C-alpha cells in the first residue's frame, strides 16, 4: 500500500537556526498535507500542496512539492521555541484515507 518516508526522525536546533523535514514517496502523489502536533496536543492541519513544483509560504514556514510529485519538504526559517513539536506529512491512501509519515520531532534550545 501507499507509504511515505519522513526524515529526519528527530532534529535539535538552537533558536534562530533553520529546520527542514522531508517526505518521500515511491509513487506519484495526488497531493500532500502537512500537520503539526505540539507536545501533549493533537495534530493540526497546516497546509495542502497539490500542484507539481508548488511552493507555499506561511510566515517563516515554506512548503514545497517536488516537480515529480514524489517528495515534499517543510522548511522553517529562524526557528523559535514556539515551533517545537512534531511535524507530519500525510498522503492519500488507496481508499481515500490519509496515511501519515512517522513525523519529525523538532526541539528548539533557547
Which residues sit at the interface with other proteins, rule CB under 8 A?
Answer: 6, 9, 30-31, 33, 35, 41-45, 48, 88, 90, 92, 95-103
Q: What's the min distance (Å) between Cβ of 36 and other proteins?
A: 11
CB 93 to other proteins: min, Å = 8
Q: What letters, b where the CB count within 10 A reaches 16 and e where it falls short, cover 20-57?
A: ebbbbbeeebeebbbbbeeeeeebeebbebeeeebebe
**CB-CB contact of 92 with 29 (8 Å):** yes
For other proteins, the closer of residues 42 and 59 by Cβ is: 42
Query: In whole angstroms, how close is the CB of 22 to other proteins at the nearest point?
Result: 15
Amino acid at each position: 500500500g501507499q507509504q511515505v518516508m519522513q526524515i529526519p526522525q528527530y532534529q535539535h536546533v538552537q533558536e534562530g537556526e533553520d529546520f527542514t523535514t522531508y517526505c518521500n514517496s515511491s509513487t506519484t502523489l495526488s497531493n500532500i498535507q502537512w500537520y503539526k502536533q505540539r507536545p501533549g496536543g493533537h495534530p493540526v492541519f497546516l497546509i495542502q500542496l497539490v500542484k507539481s513544483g508548488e511552493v507555499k509560504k506561511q510566515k517563516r514556514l515554506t512548503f514545497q512539492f517536488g516537480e515529480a510529485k514524489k517528495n515534499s519538504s517543510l522548511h522553517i526559517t529562524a526557528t523559535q521555541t514556539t515551533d517545537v513539536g512534531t511535524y507530519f506529512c500525510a498522503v492519500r491512501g488507496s481508499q481515500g484515507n490519509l496515511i501519515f509519515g512517522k513525523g519529525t520531532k523538532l526541539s528548539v534550545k533557547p
